[in-house]
Amino acid sequence: MAGQSVGQIAPGACREEPHPHPAHYHPFALPDPHPEPEDDAQDTAALAAIRRGDPGAWGDLIQRHQDRIYSMCVRMVRDRELATDLAQDAFVKIIKGIDSFDGRSRLTTWMTRIAMNVCLSKLRSEKLRRHASLEGMSESRSGDGGSDRGMELEQSREPEQTSGVETHEDRERVLAALRLLDPDQRAVLILCDCQGNSYEQIAVVLGVAVGTVKSRLFRARAALRDAVERASRDRLGSSSRASSSSAPTRRP
């Protein structure tokens, strides 16, 4: 991560293996952070066609935005099946709420806000449910020797894949650390460092002031840096212990 700001996600760290359907799709491939003027023009034309009742206009709009929306959902939840469901939920909300779009922001920004809110709502509800579940397990097992099996729910992250390629390991380490962050911190990092949105665009997406975006981004990068450094120390410690245990014992 040399050359990056403290805690900033390197662009390559936003990539992962291709999604199996369609075969060419890379869910972590970066979308153009600065869409060309013709993209906005196409959105404007599609919106006008939708409001005229053109039956094919929705298909065109969804096709042009579905990869970007799905990619953001994958980054937020790190689960492809769940991301598919959340992206579909987001498009349902977009379709139902299109009449409320007033043009004060770009259509892309408005759609991103809806999709991000869907992701954040899901993550917050999962966090509350997991917390309540763990509390209930702790109370019900207070007298049975304190089994640790319930903690598996808290640690249900997919195992990190090993690789001899340093850049791949760095990417996996950053992505694993990103998932440990608070959802709001994860959101601002993804919107800024992965998607390349401006502070102003992020403020619209998250519904906060630009100053709040800057302070939240500073704290999120610091938290990401700490998480990556902890993971690196843990890995080094595990490697050292493994080397020590496998070393031959000298006999006098």
pLDDT digits (tens, 9 = 90+) for 163-214: 334 566 777 778 778 888 889 999 999 999 888 899 999 999 999 999 999 9
Q: Is residue 153 part of a domain?
A: no
Q: What is the pLDDT of residues 76-135, one digit of tens each?
A: 998 999 999 999 999 999 999 999 999 999 999 999 999 999 999 999 888 766 555 545
Q: Is residue 235 part of a domain?
A: yes
In DSSP notation, 20-57 reads SSSTT--TTSPPPSS--HHHHHHHHHHHHHHHHT-TTH
Cα–Cα separations (whole angstroms), residue 31 to 14, 162, 187: 11, 27, 16
Q: Is residue 143 part of a domain?
A: no
Q: Is residue 5 part of a domain?
A: no
Query: What domain count does the chain have?
Result: 1
Confidence of residue 154 (pLDDT cuts 50, 70, 90): very low
Q: What's the domain range around 184?
A: 11-138+166-244
CATH number at residue 25: 1.10.1740.10
* 62 pLDDT higher than 80: yes
Q: Is residue 4 part of a domain?
A: no
Record the tokens describing residue 145, joined without a space.
Answer: 């020797």
Q: Is residue 72 part of a domain?
A: yes
Confidence of residue 251 (pLDDT cuts 50, 70, 90): low
- CB distance 142 to 135 below 8 Å: no
Total-model pTM: 0.68
By CB atoms closer than 10 A (0-12, 13-18, 19+), residue 66 is middle
How far, in Å, CA of 181 to CA of 221, rounded?
10
Average pLDDT, the chain: 74
Q: Is residue 233 part of a domain?
A: yes
